[in-house]
């Protein structure tokens, strides 16, 4: 015969039972809250990183003059980042911008791959040390003086592909771009870094929707690596990009 043990109606629940039940419920609530707080902090960290990158690439902490920064601020607001936190991030970026200088760090990766790490820092030694801590005990190592020549600095403007490649080529010529590449649903116009603003404005005047505009280091020669090496590279790159004062990581992949 099965015996069902329980509490009869009207019978008082022992104090210990009530305490344990309450403790279990509070533990669950606390666990859920901790998970949500962690996810929230991660989103805020991403928003701060986006603002930092936008300021370093656009050179301005004024969202009216820096469209990428305006988008980063909108991302922060849409994810409920407090206004005070956004303002503090911008104020700190303003202070760091005053003394920061651009720099590069050259790295050799798995499978003969090369990485060019773009920096903007007022403490180059400290930033390099932080990156070396990340790549320590990995397949990535410093390759001073042997990487920058494998990349070419170019102005890059990415737009929505609202016309075919032939029409885009004509547009590229008219606005002063050197080359245009069609990729899925976008067009990528390349030009001299000094012509970036002129090309971007010219494309906007031709009613093309600009998605992104920046100065990038484009690889002259691409290198193929294995799927396993690519997974390893992706993990390490994410860690490098989180280092304070790293703007962008360029790879000849």
Q: What is the pLDDT of residue 54?
A: 81
Q: What is the pLDDT of residue 9?
A: 47
Q: What is the pLDDT of residue 39?
A: 59
- Two tokens, residue 37: 């707080």
Q: What is the pLDDT of residue 33?
A: 45
End-to-end CA distance of the chain: 70
Q: What is the pLDDT of residue 21?
A: 47
Range list of β-strands (E), the chain: 101-108, 114-121, 141-142, 151-160, 179-183, 186-191, 210-219, 246-251
> Could you give the CA distance from residue 231 to residue 191 in angstroms, rounded to a whole number?
32
Contact indicator for 178, 188 with CB cutoff of 8 Å: no
Query: CB neighbours (10 Å) of residue 13?
Result: 9
Ranges of the chain whose pLDDT falls below 50: 1-11, 13, 16-23, 26, 29, 31-35
Q: What is the pLDDT of residue 121?
A: 84
Q: What is the pTM (predicted TM-score) of this model?
A: 0.64
Domains of the chain by range and CATH? 41-99 (1.10.10), 101-253 (3.30.70.980)
Query: Which of 86, 1, 6 minimizes the C-alpha distance to 44?
Result: 86
> Could you give the CA distance from residue 69 to residue 66 in angstroms, rounded to a whole number?
5
Q: What is the pLDDT of residue 37?
A: 52
- Two tokens, residue 98: 């005053």
CA angle 23, 29, 33 (to 5 degrees): 140
Q: What is the pLDDT of residue 18?
A: 45
* Dihedral sign computed on CA atoms, order 58, 59, 61, 64: negative
H/E element, 248: strand 246-251
Query: Which of 148, 171, 136, 145 minimizes the C-alpha distance to 243?
Result: 136
List, for residues 223-247, the tens digit of each pLDDT value.
898 999 999 899 999 899 888 788 8
- The per-residue pLDDT of the chain, averaged, comes to 81
Contact indicator for 208, 187 with CB cutoff of 8 Å: yes
In which residue are the tokens 């820096």 written? 66
């Amino acid at each position: 015969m099965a015996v069902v043990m329980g509490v009869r109606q009207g019978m008082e629940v022992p104090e210990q039972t009530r305490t344990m039940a309450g403790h279990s419920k509070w533990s669950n609530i606390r666990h859920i809250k901790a998970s949500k707080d962690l996810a929230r902090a991660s989103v805020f960290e991403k928003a701060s990183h986006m603002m930092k990158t936008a300021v370093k690439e656009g050179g301005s902490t004024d969202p009216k003059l820096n469209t990428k920064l305006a988008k980063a601020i909108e991302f922060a607001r849409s994810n409920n980042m407090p206004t005070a936190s956004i303002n503090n991030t911008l104020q700190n970026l303003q202070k760091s911008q005053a003394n920061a200088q651009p720099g590069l760090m050259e790295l050799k990766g798995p499978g003969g791959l090369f990485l060019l790490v773009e920096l903007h820092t007022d403490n180059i030694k400290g930033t390099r040390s932080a990156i070396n801590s990340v790549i320590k005990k990995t397949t990535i190592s410093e390759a001073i003086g042997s990487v920058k020549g494998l990349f070419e600095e170019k102005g890059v403007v990415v737009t929505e592909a609202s016309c075919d490649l032939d029409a885009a080529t004509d547009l590229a010529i008219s606005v002063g771009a050197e080359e245009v590449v069609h990729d899925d649903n976008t067009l990528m116009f390349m030009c001299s870094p000094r012509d970036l603003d002129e090309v971007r404005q010219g494309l906007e005047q031709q009613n093309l929707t600009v998605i992104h505009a920046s100065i990038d280091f484009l690889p002259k020669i691409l290198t193929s690596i294995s799927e396993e090496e690519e997974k390893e590279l992706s993990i390490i790159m994410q860690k490098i990009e989180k280092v304070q004062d790293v703007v962008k990581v360029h790879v000849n992949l």
